[in-house]
Amino acid sequence: MILFILKRIGYAAPVALGVSLVCFLLVHLAPGDPLSAILPVDATAEMQAQMRAAYGFDKPLPVQYGLWLWKVLHGDLGTSIATGRPVLAEVGRAVGNSLILASVATLIGFTFGTFFGFVAGYARDSWLDRVASAIAVFGVSVPHYWLGIVMVIVFSATLGWLPPTGAGPQGSGNWFPDLEHLRYLLLPAITMSVIPMGVISRTVRALVGDILHQDFVQALRAKGLSEFGVFRHVVKNAAPTAIAIMGLQLGYLLGGSILIETVFAWPGTGFLLNAAIFQRDLPLLQGTILVLAMFFVTLNLLVDVVQTALDPRIERA
Amino acid sequence: MNAPLRNATTAADAALVEVRDLTVDFLGGRKAVRAVGGVDLTLRAGEALALLGESGSGKSVTLRALMRLLPESRTRIGGHLRLDGHDVLALGRKALSAYRGGTVAMIFQDPGLALDPVYRIGDQIAEAVMRHEGVSRAAGRARALELFERVHIPSPARRLDAYPHEMSGGMRQRAMIALALACRPKVLLADEPTTALDATVQIQILLLLRELQRDLGLAVIFVTHDVGVAVQVADRVAVMYGGHLVEVGASGAVIGSPAHPYTSGLLASRITPDSPKGVRLATIPGSPPDLADPPPGCPFEPRCSLVVPACREGLPPRVPVGPGHAARCVRLGEPVAAG
C-alpha cells in the first residue's frame, strides 16, 4: 500500500508540473501586456523597458518559467498588483475560507445525497424513489446563484434569521469556528450543498440499484443475514465510488463557486478570482489558479488512495 | 434465536423436504406470470434429487421458493412447503433468517457473482457462522478454516484472506460450498453449480458435492439442464417443463426408460460417446411455452409429436409407470417412441 501511495505521488508530480506551466502561460496568453495595467498611459519606451526588466519580462520564456517556478517552490507567488500585498497571503486566506465553505457544503451534500440515494436505490420505482429523485434532479439543475438569492430573500430579508453576506461580523474576512461565524456560514453552505447532494444522490441511487441486483446480495440473504447485515455489504460495495465522487465534488466546489461566493460576498477563492479578473490582477489570478489546481491534484491523489484502500479489486502495486 | 416448535408428526415423517402443490406467480407485469404451476416433491435425508429442465422451465424459481429468496413484493408463492418441520411460507422475519443458512443453504451458479467482491472469503464464512451461532469472529474464522480443509482447498489458511477475484473459478465454487455448509444445514440447494466452470473442474466439483452429501447425510436438490450431471449426482430425477414436473423417478429409470415424450426428446438431443459423427443432433421442434399465456392442457402439447385431443383438456394426471416413477402424460400405457 505504501508503495502504491509513493507511486501515485510519482504520477501526480508531472501533472502538477504541467498545471504550473499552464498557469504560468496564462499571463502570456491573456490579451494585452500584463504591465500596461500598472504603467501610466503616457509611459516612455525607456520606462516600459525598465519595468519589463524589473519584472523579468525581458528574459526568454523558458527562463522566466524556471525563475517563476523556483520562486513558487519557495512559497513566493509574487505581489498583487491591485493591493500590493503578497499573493500567497491573499490566496491562503481565501483558500482557507473556501475550504471551510466547500467542506461543509460537501459534507451536507454527501450526508443528504447518500441518504436520498440509498432510499431511492432501495425503493426503486416507488413513490419514495420518485420524491428522492426529484430532489436530486432539482439539486443538479436549479441555478445556484438564483437559489442563493432566494435563500437571502427568505432567510435574511424576510425572516431575518441569518446574515445575508460576509464570513463574519463586521465584514470579518477570516472565518473562525464560533457560533457567530457559523451563522454566516449556514446560508452559502446550504446553497452550495445542493449541487453535490444531487450528484451524489443520483450516483448512489444507481450504485445501490446495481448492487442490489447482483447475485451476491441474494447469496447474503441465503446465508441468513438480516436486511441490516445485507445493507452493510451494500454500503461497503458502494463506498469506493461514492467517496470518489464526493472528493471530485469537493474539488469542483473549491474552485468553481464564483457565483455563490459572489452572491454571499464570501471572501473565498471564487470571490478572489472574480476580483482578480475584473482588476486585471494577473499575479493574483495566476497564484489563485495555481493553488486551486494543486488542491485538485492533491484531492485526486487522496481519492485514488482512499478508493484503493477500500476496494480490494483495484491493483495496489 | 429460539428454535421454532417442531410438529410432533414430523419426527415420524421420513420426508425432510415436503413440497405440495407449489405455485409461484410473478406479479408486476401486465399479467401475472405463473412460473411454477403446482409442483409436488418429497425428499428424505441423505437423498439427492436433480431438477432437470431447460431455461425458463421454473427449476431455479422452485429452488428459490424453497428459501423464499424471490422478491416478496413481486412474487406470490402458494401451496405447502415443509422443510425439517418448518412451515416455510409461515416463517416470520427472524425465523426465516435462522432457517436460511441454518436449515437450508444454497450454492449458486456463478461463484464469481455470488460472493461479495469486497470482503475476504474467510470473513464471509465467519459472518454466517457468527450470525447463526453467536460465536466470536475468531471462532467463525476457525470454522471457516475447517471447512476449507473439508472442501479440499489447498493452503486453506492463506486462502481465507483472499478476495474472491484472487481465486480461480473452481476454487471459488469450493469456497461457496464451504460457505453453504458453514452452519451445518440439512438441505443443500445447488443451482447449476457447475455451469459456469470448465469441464475438468465440473467433474471435481460434482465429486466433491457427492462426497459431502454422503458424508454429511445431506438432502440435496440439484438444479441442472445437463442430463449427464443429473445422472452423476442424483438418486432421483425430476424433469421440469413449463413450470410443471412432467416426470419423476429414480435416475436410472428415468434415463433408461423415459415415460414422458419431453424426457425422451431431451435424451435424444444430447451428445453421448456413441452419437454418430456427422449426423445432426435431434432437436425438439418449437420453443418453450409463454408462461404468461400457457397452453390450456399439457404444457408440452404444442411441441409434442404424440398429441391427441385429450392433451388439450387440462393438465394430464400423474400416472405411475414403475416403483417411484411417474409421469404426467395422457398417452402413458401406449408405447412411447423416443425422438
Q: What is the pLDDT of residue A171?
A: 60
- For the cut 90, the answer to whether the pLDDT of residue B125 exceeds it is yes
Q: What is the pLDDT of residue B15?
A: 85
Residue B223's pLDDT band (cuts 50, 70, 90): very high
Residue B123's pLDDT band (cuts 50, 70, 90): very high
Look at A168 and A236; give whichever has higher pLDDT.
A236
Look at B93 and A28; give whichever has higher pLDDT.
B93
Nearest to B114 among A219, A229, A236 (CB): A219
Q: What is the pLDDT of residue B5?
A: 44
Cα separation of B29 and A195, whole Å?
Answer: 36
CA angle A284, A277, A95 (to 5 degrees): 50
Those residues with Cβ within 8 angstroms of residue B321's Cβ, 6 or more apart along the chain or in another chain: B249, B259, B327, B332
For A230, name the nearest residue in chain B, comparing CA atoms only. B116
Nearest to B108 among A219, A240, A311 (CB): A219
Q: What is the pLDDT of residue B176?
A: 92
Task: Kindly report the nearest CA distance between residue A136 and chain B, in angstroms.
Answer: 26
Q: Is B133 on the interface with A (CB under 8 A)?
A: no
Nearest to B128 among A215, A218, A223 (CB): A223
Nearest to A221 among B69, B165, B182 (CB): B69
Q: What is the pLDDT of residue B2?
A: 45
- For the cut 90, the answer to whether the pLDDT of residue B8 exceeds it is no
- Residue B44 phi, psi (nearest 5): -95, 165
Buried b (16+ CB within 10 A) or exposed e, A48-75: eeebbeeeebeeeeeebbeebeeebeee
Three-class SS of residue B49? strand
Cα separation of A91 and A72, whole Å?
Answer: 13
CB contact under 8 A, B113 and A229: no
Cα separation of B67 and B207, whole Å?
Answer: 25
Q: What is the pLDDT of residue B336?
A: 47
Q: Is B179 on the interface with A (CB under 8 A)?
A: yes
B159 burial via Cβ count (<10 Å: 0-12, 13-18, 19+):
buried
Q: What is the mean pLDDT of chain A?
A: 83
Contacts of B101 in chain A (CB under 8 A): 222-224
Kindly report the three-state secondary structure assignment for every residue of chain A: CHHHHHHHHHHHHHHHHHHHHHHHHHHHHCCCCHHHHCCCCCCCHHHHHHHHHHHCCCCCHHHHHHHHHHHHHCCCCCECCCCCCEHHHHHHHHHHHHHHHHHHHHHHHHHHHHHHHHHHHHCCCCHHHHHHHHHHHHHHHCCHHHHHHHHHHHHHHHCCCCCCCCCCHHHCCCCCCCHHHHHHHHHHHHHHHHHHHHHHHHHHHHHHHHHHCCHHHHHHHHCCCCHHHHHHHHHHHHHHHHHHHHHHHHHHHHHCCHHHHHHCCCCCHHHHHHHHHHCCCHHHHHHHHHHHHHHHHHHHHHHHHHHHHHCCCCCCC
pLDDT in tens, A206-243: 999 999 988 899 999 998 888 899 999 999 999 888 88
Q: What is the pLDDT of residue B144?
A: 93
Q: Which parts of chain B are beta strand (E)?
A: 15-26, 33-44, 48-52, 75-83, 86-87, 104-107, 187-191, 219-224, 236-241, 244-250, 318-322, 325-328
- Is this complex's ipTM strictly greater than 0.95? no
Residue B41 in grid coordinates: 416433491
Nearest to A218 among B69, B102, B180 (CB): B69
Q: What is the pLDDT of residue B199?
A: 84
Those residues with Cβ within 8 angstroms of residue A166's Cβ, 6 or more apart along the chain or in another chain: A172, A184, A264, A265, A266, A267
pLDDT in tens, B294-316: 888 888 888 888 888 888 888 88
What are the structural domains, with CATH classification, of chain A? 100-268 (1.10.3720.10)
For B163, name the nearest residue in chain A, comparing CA atoms only. A312
In 3D, which of A241, A245, A244 has the Cα closest to residue A210? A241
Cα separation of B84 and B19, whole Å?
Answer: 12
Q: Is B190 on the interface with A (CB under 8 A)?
A: no
Q: What is the pLDDT of residue A174?
A: 66
Residue B248's pLDDT band (cuts 50, 70, 90): very high
For A226, name the nearest residue in chain B, comparing CA atoms only. B97
Lowest-pLDDT range of A51-55, A234-238, A306-310, B66-70:
A51-55
CB contact under 8 A, A233 and B116: yes
Residue A277 in grid coordinates: 479578473
For B114, name the nearest residue in chain A, comparing CA atoms only. A216
B115-142 mean pLDDT: 91
Cell 450431471 belongs to residue: B229
Q: What is the pLDDT of residue B9?
A: 44
Q: What is the value of pTM for the model shown?
A: 0.79
- For the cut 60, the answer to whether the pLDDT of residue A278 exceeds it is yes
Q: Are B190 and B220 in contact (CB under 8 A)?
A: yes
CB contact under 8 A, B127 and A225: yes
Q: What is the pLDDT of residue A31?
A: 63
Q: Are A129 and A120 in contact (CB under 8 A)?
A: yes
Write out the residues of chain A at the interface with chain B, using a CB-CB cutoff of 8 A: 214-216, 218-226, 229, 233, 236-237, 240, 310-313
For B165, name the nearest residue in chain A, comparing CA atoms only. A313
Q: Are A296 and A255 in contact (CB under 8 A)?
A: yes
CB contact under 8 A, B119 and A233: yes
In 3D, which of A202, A311, A95, A96 has the Cα closest to residue B116? A311
- For the cut 90, the answer to whether the pLDDT of residue B106 exceeds it is yes
Q: Are B63 and B189 in contact (CB under 8 A)?
A: yes
Q: Are B297 and B280 in contact (CB under 8 A)?
A: no
Q: What is the pLDDT of residue A256?
A: 60
pLDDT in tens, B165-217: 999 988 999 999 999 999 889 999 999 888 888 888 888 899 899 899 989 98
Q: Is B115 on the interface with A (CB under 8 A)?
A: yes
Which residues share a beta bridge with B43?
B17
Q: What is the mean pLDDT of chain B?
A: 86
pLDDT in tens, B44-84: 988 999 999 888 888 899 999 999 998 888 899 999 999 99
Residue B238's pLDDT band (cuts 50, 70, 90): very high
Q: What is the pLDDT of residue A189?
A: 87
Give the pairing type, strands B48-52 and B236-241: parallel
Q: Are A148 and A260 in contact (CB under 8 A)?
A: yes
Size of interface A-B (CB pairs under 8 A): 80
Q: What is the pLDDT of residue B3?
A: 45
Which residues share a beta bridge with B236?
B49, B250
What are the structural domains, with CATH classification, of chain B? 14-103+185-328 (3.40.50.300), 111-184 (no CATH)
Cα separation of B228 and B267, whole Å?
Answer: 10
- Residue B240 phi, psi (nearest 5): -115, 140
Q: Is B113 on the interface with A (CB under 8 A)?
A: yes
Nearest to B115 among A216, A226, A229 (CB): A216
CB contact under 8 A, B131 and A216: no
Cα separation of B82 and B103, whole Å?
Answer: 12
CB contact under 8 A, A214 and B113: yes
For B106, name the nearest residue in chain A, comparing CA atoms only. A222
Q: Are B253 and B325 in contact (CB under 8 A)?
A: yes
Residue B1's pLDDT band (cuts 50, 70, 90): very low
Interface test with A, best of B109, B118, B184 (most A CBs within 10 A): B118
Interface test with B, best of A216, A225, A311, A315 (most B CBs within 10 A): A216
Q: Are A117 and A123 in contact (CB under 8 A)?
A: no
CB contact under 8 A, A236 and B127: no
Q: What is the pLDDT of residue A205?
A: 92
Q: In what order do the strands lie in the sheet with B104-107?
A: B104-107, B187-191, B219-224, B48-52, B236-241, B244-250, B325-328, B318-322
Task: Kindly report the nearest CA distance between residue B13 and chain A, in angstroms.
Answer: 26
Nearest to B100 among A221, A311, A312 (CB): A221
Contacts of B182 in chain A (CB under 8 A): 223
Nearest to B113 among A216, A224, A225 (CB): A216
DSSP-derived secondary structure for B232-291: HH-SEEEEEETTEEEEEEEHHHHHHS--SHHHHHHHHTS--TTPPTTSPPP--SS-PPPT
Q: Is B143 on the interface with A (CB under 8 A)?
A: no
Q: What is the pLDDT of residue A173?
A: 63
- For the cut 80, the answer to whether the pLDDT of residue A38 exceeds it is no
A154-181 mean pLDDT: 73
pLDDT in tens, B224-233: 988 888 888 8
CB contact under 8 A, A313 and B163: yes
pLDDT in tens, A292-305: 888 888 888 888 88
Look at B244 and A32; give whichever has higher pLDDT.
B244
Q: What separation in angstroms does the CA of B157 have from each of B141, B144, B163, B183, B317? A: 10, 9, 13, 19, 54
- For the cut 50, the answer to whether the pLDDT of residue B338 exceeds it is no
Q: What is the pLDDT of residue A297?
A: 87
pLDDT in tens, B257-295: 888 989 988 888 877 777 777 777 788 888 888 888 888
Which residues of B, range 47-86, sit inside 8 Å of A by Cβ? Answer: 64, 67, 69
In 3D, which of B41, B84, B85 has the Cα closest to residue B63? B41
